C-alpha cells in the first residue's frame, strides 16, 4: 500500500493530466504530456524551446520522432522530472 505522500502525488498527477495533458505521439505511440516553454529571459543560455513532461510509460532516447500539436519534432535531450521523462524537442 502506498504511503500518504505517494497517494497525494498520484492524485496530483491525475489532476494535471486531466486539466493540462495533451496527446503526444512519440515513435508512433500515443502518450500524455504536459508542455513547458523555456523562459526567453535565459537568452543564449537555453533559447526559446519546448519541453514536455511525459506522464505515460516512456523510455526516452535522443532522436525519437515526436508529433505534438500537428508539428514534427525530434528529441534533442531528456532528463527525469519528478520521476517522469522530460523531453526537450526541436
Lowest mean pLDDT across 5-14, 45-54, 69-78: 45-54
Contact status, residue 18 vs residue 64, Cβ threshold 8 Å: no
Residue 7 lies in a domain: no
Residue 16 lies in a domain: no
Number of domains in the chain: 1
Residue 36 lies in a domain: yes
The domain that contains 63 carries what CATH number? Answer: 2.40.10.210
Residue 11 lies in a domain: no
- Domain extent, residue 72, equals 22-89
Contacts 24+ apart (CB under 8 A), 77-83: 81/53, 82/9, 82/53
Residue 12 lies in a domain: no
Residue 65 lies in a domain: yes
State the DSSP string of 7-74: HHHHHHHHHHHHHH-EEEEETTEEEEEEEEE--GGGGGGT-S-EEEEE-SS----TT-EEEETTEEEE
User: What's this model's pTM, rounded to 2 decimal places?
Assistant: 0.84
Residue 32 lies in a domain: yes
pLDDT greater than 90 at residue 75: yes
**Per-residue pLDDT tens digits for 11-60:** 999 999 999 999 999 999 999 999 987 666 655 565 567 899 999 999 99
Amino acid at each position: 500500500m502506498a504511503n500518504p505522500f505517494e497517494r497525494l502525488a498520484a492524485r496530483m498527477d491525475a489532476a494535471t493530466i486531466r486539466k493540462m495533458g495533451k496527446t503526444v505521439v512519440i515513435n508512433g505511440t500515443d502518450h500524455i504530456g504536459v508542455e513547458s516553454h523555456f523562459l526567453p529571459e535565459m537568452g543564449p543560455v537555453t533559447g526559446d524551446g519546448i519541453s514536455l513532461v511525459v506522464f505515460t510509460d516512456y523510455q526516452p532516447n535522443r532522436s525519437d520522432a515526436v508529433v505534438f500539436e500537428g508539428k514534427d519534432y525530434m528529441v534533442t535531450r531528456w532528463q527525469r522530472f519528478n520521476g517522469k521523462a522530460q523531453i526537450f524537442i526541436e
